[in-house]
Structure formats: structure tokens, C-alpha cells
Amino acid sequence: MSSALPTRTSKTPAEGGDGRARTGAPPPGSARPGSVARRRARAGWFFTSPALLVVAAVTVFPVLFSLVLSFCEVRLDYGGLRLGSPTLGHYEALLTHPEWYRALAFTLGFTVVSVFAELVLGTLVALVLERLGAARGWILALLLLPWALINVIAAQLWSYLFNGTYGAVGWLCEQLFGTQPDILGEPVPAMAAMVVVDVWKTTPFVAIVVLAGLMLIPGDVYEAAEIDGAGPWTTFWKVTLPQLRPIVAIAVLFRILQAFGIFDLPFVLTQGGPGTATQSVAILGYRILFQNLDFGGGAAVAVTTAVIVMGCCLLFLRVFRAHVDEEGRA
């Protein structure tokens, strides 16, 4: 006689609580991970599209318009700009004019010297600030004062100091050396004065960036170096500097972009003089475009400068990445 009681069946591990096999598929009604990622990507593009349109309107369109102007004959009349036939004459005139090469040489020299000086001084200032205690905030606030000044105002203040008649720098030189030089009236002193002003104003930016990198270095690395018997100099070159290279690369990249497009500093201090000794490529483009009303030639200066800056930045990033990869393999 069979029992009327129901027997309890056991589920195998491959079956779920409802007796169905576990296949690894998502439950009914749930979205797949790929579709969720696609929806998030579409939502991201939707919310960022207004900002991207604004960026395109204020950056991409002017760049493309300048590129078109540089390859066209441009006439200015009462109806505005008139684009003529395509031509390479603007670039031929630019690349065969000695004034372009003088402006490019000054800009390159100014960029290299000022960025190198700012990097060295900014790193030294950041190392000092890292070891300060409660006074760090006050010193940081004082350091930010030159960086917070508008470039035109800072240049005008320094022009008073460098003035050959009543400037404080000339008076100090007279007291120390018995002569009062015309700093902004001679080519080499004018270039040096421009580098001094730029270093004074921009070193705080580099110092703050490097200080941020120093604060991110873990203390265990320094403890390990101390246990191994490394001194302060060895610790800086073997531990601190390699850890700071990504941060330093960012600071140098920003400064190259800013220094190569320098306009306001030489424009206020020397108007590009004496002669064309301190004329940057930005001032050259300004004179061709707004003083000579040569829109095609000014656009050619802008496009050529942009290409040079992009090439220098890409070369710098490639060298930096190759160096980092080589250290990683070592």
C-alpha cells in the first residue's frame, strides 16, 4: 500500500528554487550590461552636447574660418570680407619674409628660457612649501598675488620699474654700478626684462602644480629610501623627481602653450621693440591683420603658429611617453 504523503524532491545545484536550470542568463525583464552602457553613453552625449556646441562655436569655427582665409584672396570693402580665388601666396610671402623668422626666433627663445626658469624655481618653491606647517596657507596666498594680477596691469607696473628716467631698477643699477641703463631701449636687456616679468608672474602657478604632485607621493616611498640609506640628494633624484614627472609634464605643456602665444607682455612693455627685437609671432599677426588689414596674411600667421605649437606639444608628449615606458620596462 503506497503512502499518500508527498515526497520532497531535492534540487540539483544546476537548478534554481523554481526548478529551472541556472543558465547564467539575466532574469526576465532585466537589461543586459551592454544595453545599459549604450544608454548611459547616449545620455552622456545628450547632456554634454550643449557644451560641445558652444566649444565648437567659439573654437572650431574660428580655426576653420582662419584656415579658409589663409588660403584665399581676401578683399575688404563696405560689404565686409570678400573671399576670392584660392591661393598659396599668403604662406609664400610669410615664409620668405625675414621678419617672420625674427619673430619666431624671439618667441622660441622666450618660451624655452622662461619655461625652464619657471620650472626650476617653481620646483624649489614647492619643495620649501611642502616642509612648512601652519604658515603654508599664508605663503600660498602671497604667492598667488602675482598670478592673480591681469597680465596688462602687471606689465604696466613693471614698465614703471624699468623706465630709464625714473624707474626703480635703473636707480638701483646706478647706485650699484654707477650707470643707469635704458633697459627697455636695448634689445638684450629688453628680452631679459621680459623673461624676468614672466617668471615673476608665472612661477607661482608651476609651484602650486608641483606642490600638488608632492602631496600625492606616499610617505612609504621615502621611508623605504631612508631605510636603504639614501641621502636627501639621492632621494630627490631617484624618488621625488620620477614621481613628479607626470605632474611636471602637465605644467610644462600648459606653460609652452601660454608662453608661445605671448602678446600682452611685449606689447605693453616695448611694443615689440626696440625695432623688432621683442616682436612675438602674436604681435606680428596683430600688425599684419589689424594695422595692415591683410586678413589673409594674418590668418596665415595664426595657422602657422598653431601648427608649430601643436607639433612641439605632440613631440614633447611623445618623448615623455617613451621615457616613461622605458622606465617601466626597466
Split into its structural domains, the chain has a count of 2
Average pLDDT along the chain: 82
**CA–CA separation, 104 vs 110, rounded Å?**
10
Residues 161, 72 within the same domain = no
Cα dihedral across residues 137, 139, 143, 148: positive or negative = positive
Q: Residue 180: inside a domain, yes or no?
A: yes
Domain that holds residue 71: 36-86
Q: Residue 26: inside a domain, yes or no?
A: no
Q: Residue 191: inside a domain, yes or no?
A: yes
Q: Say how many C-beta atoms besides its own lie within 10 A of residue 264's C-beta.
A: 17
Residues of 106-144 as b/e, b for ≥16 C-beta within 10 angstroms?
A: bbbebbebbbebbbebbbebbeebeeeeeeeeeebeebe
Q: Model confidence over 141-192: pLDDT tens digits?
A: 888 888 888 889 999 999 989 887 788 888 888 888 877 778 888 888 899 9
In this model, does residue 327 exceed pLDDT 70?
no
Q: Residue 29: inside a domain, yes or no?
A: no
Q: Residue 18: inside a domain, yes or no?
A: no
Taking Cα atoms as reference points, which of 163, 243, 144 lies closest to residue 201? 144
Which residue shows C-alpha cell 543586459?
32
- Asked whether the beta carbons of 224 and 143 are under 8 A apart, the reply is no
Q: What confidence score (pLDDT) does residue 158 get?
A: 92
Lowest mean pLDDT among 25-34, 57-66, 245-254: 25-34
Residues 65, 103 within the same domain = no
Of the residues 28, 56, 86, the one at which a domain ends:
86
**CA–CA separation, 104 vs 102, rounded Å?**
5
Residues 243, 288 within the same domain = yes
Residues 259, 314 within the same domain = yes
Q: Residue 15: inside a domain, yes or no?
A: no
Q: Residue 193: inside a domain, yes or no?
A: yes
Residues 107, 128 within the same domain = yes
SS3 assignment, position 8: coil
Q: Cα dihedral angle (277, 279, 280, 281), rounded to 10 degrees?
A: -120
Q: Fill in the amino acid letter for 31.
A: A
Residues 143, 189 within the same domain = yes
Residues 172, 290 within the same domain = yes
Residues 61, 103 within the same domain = no
Q: Model confidence over 111-146: pLDDT tens digits?
A: 999 999 999 999 999 988 888 777 777 888 888 888
In this model, does residue 263 exceed pLDDT 50?
yes
Residues 73, 180 within the same domain = no
Which residue shows C-alpha cell 606689465?
155
Mean pLDDT of 16-33: 51
**CA–CA separation, 234 vs 254, rounded Å?**
29
Residues 103, 242 within the same domain = yes
Question: CATH number for the domain including 317?
Answer: 1.10.3720.10
Residues 164, 255 within the same domain = yes
Name the range with the highest mean pLDDT among 186-190, 228-232, 316-320: 186-190
**CA–CA separation, 90 vs 97, rounded Å?**
11
Q: How confident is the model at residue 254 (pLDDT cuts 50, 70, 90)?
A: confident
Lowest mean pLDDT among 64-68, 92-96, 178-182, 217-221: 178-182
Taking Cα atoms as reference points, which of 274, 276, 280, 279 lies closest to residue 259? 280
Strand partners, 74: 83
Q: How confident is the model at residue 329 (pLDDT cuts 50, 70, 90)?
A: low
Q: What is the pTM of this model?
A: 0.78
